[in-house]
A and B are shown apart, each in its own frame.
Chain A
């Protein structure tokens, strides 16, 4: 990520993730990039997979009913020998119809979320895999470097790039199941497997989220959307809920902080994420990397100038930044936060963060 918001091409991220080839098995690779659609930054960019033409027709019918569609096009791809049987990959730049937002009695973002859930759960063979503004996810079944080539990512320029290579275990390797998982402009890549999945999922279902993509990472995306956007909580609170300090640590805090952290754990106990995870959460305001609280998965961070890097392996960082200024492995539950300097969210967020637990976060 470049904190000044300067954009750069996807070549570096492909190089970096390719180095970690052996961490995946070719059954999933993907990228998220922010700042790639500057001319259309006011439109929601819907990226969709279709199993067949009927799914596309049904979805386009749905989109036309609910949105003003500015552009509908196939996402440019190239033939890559290693990528077999890709689905139809389309994108749409859309704005919700004002009357539909009025009818649904929710804001534009909530309306978009509702539509994403509806397409994913009701239209057979159609999956929205990206729905944010001025950003996009690009993923599929294959090694990440092949997926990057398939989507011609060297032609895009973004200020945050995320990548993932998958080694699926519990669920099938399918196009919708590759990382990142996205909703609005949140994108999550995840190394691990969460054992709290069903507790998290069943909690979120009460608030209209539907987990349809057969992968535990999906739920992490929705948790952050729920806590940060729907509940309007500061990032610290979300991190405290997701990877909370242990009770023994909480007991040592000063009384005011103790009550606050205890209350967060009490109210959002169902959103604690358990099991091994290293995650990177992208958003238009910046990015955040976080480990589970007992650090069952690796995570390394580094900085150089205006750049912040995070990866499962230090080598992946050094591949594209051989001489970083600082390299470290964050503790379990200790977030690495990179804000865009230009971000309005950063200012709003920093005003709200005053309870930050000492030495519990690195803010770039």
Chain B
């Protein structure tokens, strides 16, 4: 049974074949004999490309109305999955983030605003500062004769506490990466190469680039490490904790192969673990190897997925010398992941963040290391809540792709992204103009900046520094005592 129903308004359709040309899934076809366009909805993924591009608004796509007999337990998703696995005997793949209806804890937190005694601040009239530094901070500042006696470790300077998540060249198109790189440059923040290496066209964005070192070590060489402003060691990813990466050979064209330093057309398989990291001591060695290789001039991040014991793991990472810890929650997106892993492994980023921040403070080391979180940050209020819970900054992946035009059809793993984002097909890649993409991504950041400033002003705060870890600015709604305790916030009304 198809997932979607395509309705073509015959009074409007002019059989111009735009939809035929736009659909990489070949849903729309042209019947030369009849001189008419028709649709075969079996392959429709609901990406809306045809709907948006249709010049006469002739197309409507809806969920397919003929569903299985109503059953709260055996939902169509589960039934269809069994049919598919019974046919193929394979792992079910999917793209983007977990779409299960688990609670979104951001939506169970409300932000404070001041009234009367502590006046709110109008960001249109008063300075409002979002500048954030990511990097290791010293225990104390050494000042002698009015001068800095010792330089502090390297820092990334962010004009807004939002960066673009790791998305590799391979999982997304070069034009998509260029869009994010330019937007990061314009707005004073950073994008992340993911494990795909750094394409030669992107070296010019080096000062806004975070280069990733993942288990496959694709594209990692001295120039790559030196090209970025920071280095991120990826241990885990929120969409697939405990799982390695897999870029199918079909996506490994000439440019991807050169950038990743692998033969064209071969599968790029990142192992689940780094084969030189089997303990925290090993991680420490890699952190310091990378620092040594880059003359201690670049902060080194370590990215992990949010899992049960995340607080203790983060403490180990901080003590292993990482300048920043990145935690990716279970709603984090991905180019491709086993469906069951994506939807069932890991924990919400809200809890992971609260637990890690609390633990690092209990151990007296929170001030030394920066904390970045990722995993479905959907809007500026999520950012504000994350910072109030204790994050220094957030990464956005899915939101950034949506800014570029993604319609969250969750088929990134097929490589047939009609929006030119999660694809390497040259025809599809061209659909995303990097200049327009950069403008849209930059607009998103700018819009969020305005909104964050408004919310800060409402709280009577004029620098984001004073929101970081300021949990009194949050109140829980519809949460159990236990959940409130883990989040470290009071209930609404308290």
Contacts and interface: CB of A to CB of B under 8 A. Distances in A.
Contacts of A351: 145
A351 B147 CA distance: 12
A266 interface: yes
Contact of A266 (B146, B147, B155): B155
Contacts of B364: 206-207
Contacts of B453: none
Most buried by B among A237, A246, A266, A268: A266
A268 B141 contact: yes
A271 B53 CA distance: 52
B469 A198 contact: yes
B129 A199 contact: no
Given A237-B141, A352-B146, A247 B460 contact: no
A233 B141 contact: yes
Interface string A260-297: 10011111111011111000000000000000011010
B134 to A, nearest CB: 10
B137 A266 contact: yes
A248 B367 contact: no
B469 A352 contact: no
Given A195-B114, A260-B147, A269 B141 contact: no
B366 interface: yes
Interface string A191-207: 01111111110110111
Nearest to B473: A198
A297 to B, nearest CB: 10
Interface in B137-154: 137-138, 140-141, 143-148, 152
Contacts of A206: 361, 364-367
Contacts of A232: 140
B459 A195 contact: yes
Interface residues of A, number: 51
Contacts, number: 129
A169 interface: yes
Nearest to B467: A199
Contacts of B145: 351-352, 354
Interface in A338-358: 351-356
A324 interface: no
Interface string B462-479: 110111111111000000
Contact of A272 (B137, B365, B463): B463
Interface residues of B, number: 42
B319 interface: no
A315 to B, nearest CB: 23
B469 A203 contact: yes
Interface string A229-245: 00111101100000010
B470 A196 contact: yes
Most buried by A among B129, B152, B466: B466
Nearest to A169: B117
A200 B145 CA distance: 28
Interface string B99-139: 00000000000000010111101000011010101000110
B214 interface: no
Nearest to B117: A169
Contacts of B268: none
Given A195-B459, A202-B471, A294-B462, A275 B118 contact: yes
Nearest to A231: B140
A359 interface: no
Contacts of B465: 196, 199, 265, 269-270, 272
Contact of A195 (B144, B155, B361, B461): B461
Nearest to A265: B465
A293 B463 CA distance: 11
A263 B153 CA distance: 10
B355 to A, nearest CB: 14
A135 B143 CA distance: 30
Interface string A174-210: 0000000000000000001111111110110111000
A170 B117 contact: yes
B472 A198 contact: yes
Given A195-B466, A272-B463, A294-B121, A352 B471 contact: no
B141 A270 contact: no
B121 A233 contact: no
Given A196-B466, A206-B361, A247-B129, A275 B461 contact: yes
A194 B367 CA distance: 21
Contact of B466 (A246, A264, A267, A272): A272
Nearest to B140: A231
A244 B131 CA distance: 13
Contacts of A236: 146
A192 B472 CA distance: 17
Contacts of B114: 195, 275
B391 to A, nearest CB: 12
A259 interface: yes
A355 B146 CA distance: 5
A198 B461 contact: no
A267 B462 CA distance: 18
Contacts of A268: 141
25 contacts: A194-B118, A198-B471, A199-B468, A199-B470, A202-B469, A202-B470, A202-B471, A203-B469, A233-B140, A247-B127, A247-B131, A256-B147, A260-B147, A260-B148, A263-B152, A267-B137, A267-B152, A268-B141, A272-B466, A275-B118, A275-B461, A296-B119, A352-B143, A355-B146, A355-B147
Interface of A: 169-170, 192-200, 202-203, 205-207, 231-234, 236-237, 244, 246-248, 256, 259-260, 263-270, 272-276, 293-294, 296, 351-356
Minimum-distance CB pairs A-B, first 3: A354-B146, A196-B466, A274-B466
Given A195-B118, A197-B472, A198-B472, 9 more contacts: A198-B471, A202-B471, A260-B148, A267-B137, A269-B468, A270-B468, A275-B114, A351-B145, A355-B147
